[in-house]
Amino acid sequence: MTDTPLPLISRPAVGRHLTGSLVGKILAIVVLSALLVSRDADWVMHPTLWAEDGVIWFQNAYTKGLRVLVMPSAGYINLFPYAMALAARALPLGWLPGWMMAGGFIAQVAPAVLLLLRGAPLAPSIWARGALTVFYLGVPNSYEIHLNLTNAQWHLMLLSFLMLVLPAPQARGWRGLQYGVLLISGLTGPFCLFLAPVALWQWLGAAPDQRRHAFIQAAIVASAALIQVLCLLTLGAGERQSLVLGASATRLARMLTDQVFLSGVLGTANVGVLKQGALWQEPAMAWGVALAGLSVIALALVKGPSSFRKFCLAGLILLACALVSPAGAPVGDQWALLGMLGYGGRYFVIPILIFFIACLILACKAPGRLRIPACALLCVFMVGVWADWLYPTRSGTFAAYHQAVEAFEEAPPGTQVSFPEASPGWNMVLTKR
């Protein structure tokens, strides 16, 4: 079963002119990169380490060497960040934050580039692809996964999904590169587990000329998933703490309303203002918004292409696993924490993208009486993009980090030095050799 592409304002000649030539492709990459950097230019100019970037990835790579490539973190192999950390050992320590940020940058911009330049089989219109690409780069409630290596795996999942559902590249070299990226992504965190059903679905429904390519990709994803499961059950057994979920239907409705539907449309800053009103504290309001948002997605599942249904399947598995076993604070009810604006935002980026794509599909394919509100909602999404475009400055530890680098370089062997990170409470500790 092949996809029916999204036609929105289809002007293929314009799309080919803008993205077909080498100059057009280079220009597109430059523009997309500039948009991404503009959300937090200070972070690019004054990079510092973020969360596991230093404390886990580099600290372990510095002390344990190549064996970190098969060493689990949170129960899973994390090939990409550890490979970046191992390569960083050959660089001056002062370059480390910029190097790790560059890894996050490449992973984050890659899905946008692939969608815009090769996404025509899914959406022939350059305008539809452009809208989706810009929304991805400016997606609200995504501060946590912006330009850092620790959360690059979320963007690698999106990149892998696009590779799975798009036709095979014509050049053999590009196909080989794509298979390599799928393998690296599959061995970076648990996301291959969410993509394995998609890869199988894609293979079973592939056209005859795409079946071999789809089989190879499915085999890569399935192999990575098997490795991660075995790692979780053996090497990573017991790494995850047992947490109190505090699950309830009303908390789920509030979570979806605040973190996905309202934040995606209006931005977290505007939702924070709305929630100060007594009306938004009523459970009925949360249920109403959640059911309305889910209804939009359900209608798009009926009207949209199979690629959207595959994306929803992966997103549903991901969100379900996140709700059952979140990697959150060690204390407190996890669902109550996940309902707080901005907390655990990484878990909600893909659901927000699903909601936006659902509105895009309905703006194209819904009956006339539904198309107008879908188009109106698409316009309102820009309110959220604008409100959340600029991130708060987080480079406050830049000077302190470089002071620690100087102290480390001047210290005698055996001296321990602590390097502050941008994440509050996180400090990388290295022992001078």
* pLDDT of amino acid 225: 97
| Residue 71, SS3 per DSSP | coil
CA distance 353 to 111: 13
| SS3 call for 425 | coil
Q: Where are the domains of the chain?
A: 11-240+396-433, 242-394
**194 or 22, greater pLDDT:** 194
Work out the percent of the chain whose per-residue pLDDT is above 90: 71
User: Which pTM was predicted?
Assistant: 0.92
Q: How many CB atoms lie within 10 A of CB 286?
A: 23
- pLDDT tens across 105-140, in order? 999 999 999 999 988 788 777 888 999 999 999 999
User: What is the sign of the dihedral through the CA atoms of 344, 346, 351 and 356?
Assistant: positive
In contact, 38 and 151? CB cutoff 8 Å: no
Alpha helices, DSSP H, located in 263-348? 263-266, 268-274, 283-303, 306-324, 334-338
Phi, psi of 419 (to 5 degrees): -115, 115
* SS3 state at 76: strand
Would you mind telling me the total number of residues written for the chain in this entry?
A: 433
Q: Which residue has the tokens 């941008």?
A: 422
pLDDT band for position 341 (cuts 50, 70, 90): confident
Residue 295: its pLDDT value, please?
96
pLDDT in tens, 215-273: 999 999 999 999 999 998 887 655 656 678 888 999 999 999 999 999 999 999 899 88
What pLDDT was estimated at residue 20? 64
- Give the tens place of pLDDT for each residue, 28-55: 999 999 999 999 999 999 999 999 999 9
pLDDT number for residue 314: 97
Residues 59 and 428: beta-carbon distance below 8 Å: yes
243-250 — which CB contacts under 8 Å span 24+ positions? 243/325, 243/326, 243/328, 243/330, 243/334, 244/332, 244/333, 244/334, 245/323, 245/324, 245/333, 245/334, 245/335, 246/332, 246/333, 246/334, 246/335, 246/336, 247/323, 247/335, 248/335, 250/283, 250/286, 250/287
Give Dmax (Cα) for the chain.
74
Which has more pLDDT, 14 or 323? 323
3-state secondary structure of 110: helix
Which residue has tokens 């970037």? 53
CA terminus-to-terminus distance, the chain: 59
Using an 8 Å Cβ cutoff, are 114 and 123 in contact? no
DSSP state string for 170-234: SSHHHHHHHHHHHHHHHTBSSHHHHHHHHHHHHHHT--GGGHHHHHHHHHHHHHHHHHHHHHHHT
Does 383 have pLDDT greater than 70?
A: yes
